Each structure stands twice: as structure tokens, then as C-alpha cells.
A and B are shown apart, each in its own frame.
Chain A
């Protein structure tokens, strides 16, 4: 049975329709990630679930109960904010126990739960400090601890890693994934970083302009994007999407492209060959050698260069003429409106 359910949820800011009728069902224990470009409404949707914004139409059910109009304080949800939003005048222990103290829980139980959470998050030595005396990563862990201590029905994360440096972000991401595995708590996580989305999520919800573009497991989104937007949003470097008119020589290899449509090719489905070999010819514009892999940007007369990813060290130089071989079976076809015309026949990597 659905644990958390959004039914045709809408939100207006003035005359701006920020959320345009969202339907979504989340199962108990799932890790759901909302992802999308800035302004797509992902944070707004999370705040609607949290009760920090009012739902203008539609309804919201949690564990069989209609919570559409319930205030945040009564929803039994915990949220980790982007800025952490710790109480600056309270110690770490008081920050973590605040909700339980408000609920007048037994002091012994509170102590136990705070100690337990502090142990999980390596915060035991810092319990009597104030947030000001902690580093960014530690504050982040306190914010997570504050959520854990309450054992809420759903954890909400609003871009929790965006204030951390790259190294710490990667590390915390792993910790959050482990935490979810250990606690098995239902989690909704908002991010604009598709790598976070892919690595953490059981299911990813891709949003654009207040609408859900696609919901699916990370690999479903990668292999079978519902449209050009999702195809290009998921995966780095992004999928090459070329108007068929720019590369008519592909018509022969990739059959069934609608007129005025687009061909989508993941960088790993394009290989760089010596000049004269392959379906398309061009010149090398840029070579990015990343060590384990190499990205080769080839100018083939299209508006943006075609990006090829190969796992071998670069053998070509900038300006060199090369041929391009395309794995036609892995091509995604889109119609003129960017809707998927044919998903890749095989997820050949």
C-alpha cells in the first residue's frame, strides 16, 4: 500500500503556477530523490510535503491519513535543511533532543536516543558544544542526528550536501546511503546534482517547470529516458542529441527517425576511429584525458560537437581528422517535440 501519496498537488505563488498537478506514490522504506534544474519546483514540492508551504489544490496522504491541511508540527516528518538550521543557542545534545523534549518524552529515553544517534554519527565528543564550535561537516551530521532521534515517518532532505566541499560531499553521500540502509526509513531527498540522485535513489523523480517528467530507478532513467529533457539531464557528460537534419548520413544506420526529429547518443556509444572509417567524419576539437577515461569532442558539422567517451588513453590530437562509429542499436530517437520516438533497442555499454 502507498505510504506517502500526492494526488494532483498544485501550488501557486501569486499568479505563477509553481507546481502543476503532481501525482506521486512513495512506498514505505523507499529512498526517493527529486532532481531537476533550478526553479523546477523540487524544493517547493518538498516544502509542500513538509507543510512549510500550503497546498493550494490536491491532497496529500501519509500512512493512510489525509495530512493536506495538517500543520508541519503534527505531520511527524523530519527535515534536514540546506543551511542545517541548527538552533544556535542550544548545545548539540539539546539540538538533537529538542523534538523529544517538546513531545515530553521520558528523559531516560531521550538520553538513550541522543547517545545512540551521536554514536552512529560520530558526534559523542561534541554533544556539549554549540553549533558555532563545529565544522560544516559536523553541523551537517547534527542536523541529520536531529532528524534520526525522532524516528519520524519520513525523512526529508533539502539539498543537504550543497554547502560542503567536494571531498566531504562524496563522503557524506556514502554515509547517508549507509544510514538509509541501516535505518530503512522512508526518505525524500532533493538535489540538483544528478550524480547524487543516481547514487542514492531507489527511484528518481525528474522535475521540470513544476511537472514530473519521469519517475524511475536510476538505470531506467539512464537507459530509457521518457524524453529528450530527461535523456540530457541524466548522465555526465550529457547525451549527444543531434537533429537528424544536421547529420543526414545517420539516416541509413539509425532507421525510423521521425522527420524533424533527433538522434540521442550516449558518449560511450560513440567511438573515434581513423579518418575514413565509420558513418560520420569530423575533426577533433578537444581532448579531455581524465585518466581512467578520455572524452573526445569531435566537430562533425553539428551545432555542438559530438562527445565520445573511451576507456583507453587518447591516440588522437586536436585538429586531427577522424571518423566516428555509432552504435546504432543504442541510439535514442526523439520526435520534433523531444518526446521519445523509440528507446534504445539495447542498453549496450
Chain B
């Protein structure tokens, strides 16, 4: 190394200057550590993105080639072999549909729990949360049977219902914690001002709870988009979402890493872009209204 190393004893420094320099080192270490952690987290995604632009042969080469001529062949093949747009449309319909339906049910529920508390409110909330403690597969057989009997198997309607139901506990909890922070007296003031239940909801609760509704909605949109278990088990050719599309590339014909990566990239790209733009609301939502 040609760089000269400055020893603290060699260069006379005042105590404050030394302390200042030490502080900078801490900052630098922190920055490096943050980058390392970030790279570790994002590495699989980067690797996936890289593989998607390789040929199948390059994809399975060990050691991996970091520099290669990118190709779009995989994407072309994915669109040809399986109808990407159909899957994307299904993902869009089911995630938006289940989010809207979920909000429509969760908002009134959270409203009544936050503002008309009873002795049992806490228990009901805990019970709702407890339904998330069971693995989804535990309910697979009855849910499948119900879907089959009611003709909802492999339909977007069926998926919307099941996505809504599985996200509902989280939505109620999130909205409840948001609404709880709104002083009851403001709603009472609206009541005194002549607002009925709808007026109170429309003119006071909705504008005041907009932040909470937005972050709850965003989180559920992401959860529904990424949902794989029910999407795989309850759909076939008609209502499959992008999660099902990805899975179809690890099918009996063997693993095609490059195409699988291309399909995955296509599946996650919209929600990653969406998440990037709405990260502020998402972070707010995940801290459950603690940060205002």
C-alpha cells in the first residue's frame, strides 16, 4: 500500500480534534456496515435480476460469470410459453379487489372497536390475531372443499374472498391502532354538530384517518400481490396470479434458471416499483401508527 498511515502519535493533535476524528471513524464503520447488510438483503434479488438476462447455459455455470452479454430471450419465451399479461391481470384484480373489500369491512369494524369499546373488545382483537397464528395449510382442506362446492375454485372472486379474509385481522388491527389515536371528543363534536354516523365517518374520521387507511391499504396490496399459498392451491389456468406463474417454471420439465428468473422478475417488478414510490406510507403503516 502506498498510502501513508497517519499514526495519532505522529501528528500532534488537540484532544477535540482527535475526538472529532474518532467520531468520523464510527460514522464510516456504520456506513460500511449498513451497506454490507443492505447488499446481503438485496443480493438474491440482484442475482435473480442478473440471471434473468443470461442464457440458460450461462445461468447454470459455476463459478458464476459476473460479466456477460445480456439477452432478452428469456422474457420473450416467458410471454410466449405462458400468458404473462393474463397472470398480471389476475394479480392486479385480486390484490386491488381484496384490498378494497378488506378496507370496506375493516374500517367500520375498527371504528366501532376504537370508539365504542366494550369489555370484550380486547378479546375480539386477540381472537382475530390468533387466526393468523395457525398455518394456512391447516385450513386447506375445508377451504378447498368450500371453494369447490361454491364454484369459486379457480376464479378471481374466490381468490379475492380468501385474500380478504386472510388479511382482515391485520387490517382491523392496523386501522384500530390508527383510529384509537383520534380523540373521541372530535367525533362527539361532529355528532353535536348534527352529523349522523355516515356524516361522522365521511367528514371527520375518513380525513383524519386517511394516513392509516392508505398505509393499511398499501400493505395489504403488497401482501395480496405476494400471496402464494392460496394462489397456488386454489387456481389453475384461469385465475392464476403471478405467484402461480413463477411456480409453473419449476415444474416437471426441470428447472430452467434463466426463465424462472425472468418470470420472477416480471412478477415482482410491478410491486417493487409500487413499493418504492409508496415507501413512506408503508414504513408508517408497519410502525403501526406510532410515528405520526
Contacts and interface: CB of A to CB of B under 8 A. Distances in A.
Interface of A: 50-52, 71-74, 77-79, 81-83, 85-89, 98-99, 102-103, 146, 150
Given A72-B191, A98-B193, A102-B194, 7 more contacts: A52-B191, A77-B192, A83-B183, A85-B189, A87-B189, A102-B199, A103-B194
A102 B195 contact: yes
Given A87-B204, A88-B208, A89-B207, A78 B186 contact: no
A150 B188 contact: no
B86 interface: no
Contacts of A85: 183, 185-186, 188-189
A83 B185 contact: yes
B203 interface: yes
A34 to B, nearest CB: 17
Say what secondary structure dominates the interface of chain A. Answer: loop
B188 A73 contact: no
A99 B186 contact: no
B27 interface: no
A67 to B, nearest CB: 13
A7 B195 CA distance: 27
Contact of A71 (B189, B191, B204, B207): B191
A102 B195 CA distance: 7
A99 B194 contact: yes
Contacts of B190: 87, 98
B194 A87 contact: no
B196 interface: yes
Q: Name, among B186, B189, B190, B204, the residue most crowded by chain A CB atoms within 10 Å (CB to CB).
A: B189
Chain B interface extent, by class:
10 to 19
A52 B207 CA distance: 22
26 contacts: A50-B188, A50-B192, A52-B192, A71-B191, A72-B188, A72-B191, A72-B192, A73-B192, A74-B194, A77-B192, A79-B188, A81-B185, A85-B183, A85-B188, A86-B189, A87-B186, A87-B190, A88-B208, A89-B207, A89-B208, A98-B190, A98-B203, A102-B194, A102-B199, A102-B203, A150-B193
A51 B190 CA distance: 12
A73 B186 contact: no
A73 B191 contact: yes
Q: Name, among B186, B191, B193, B194, the residue most crowded by chain A CB atoms within 10 Å (CB to CB).
A: B193
B192 A71 contact: no
Given A87-B204, A89-B208, A98-B203, A78 B192 contact: yes
A88 B186 contact: yes
Contacts of B183: 83, 85
Q: Name, among A78, A85, A88, the residue most crowded by chain B CB atoms within 10 Å (CB to CB).
A: A85
Contacts of B191: 51-52, 71-73
Nearest to B188: A52
A49 to B, nearest CB: 11
Interface in B36-55: none
Contact of A73 (B185, B196, B203, B208): B196
Nearest to A79: B192
Nearest to A97: B193
A89 B194 CA distance: 18
Contacts of B186: 85-88
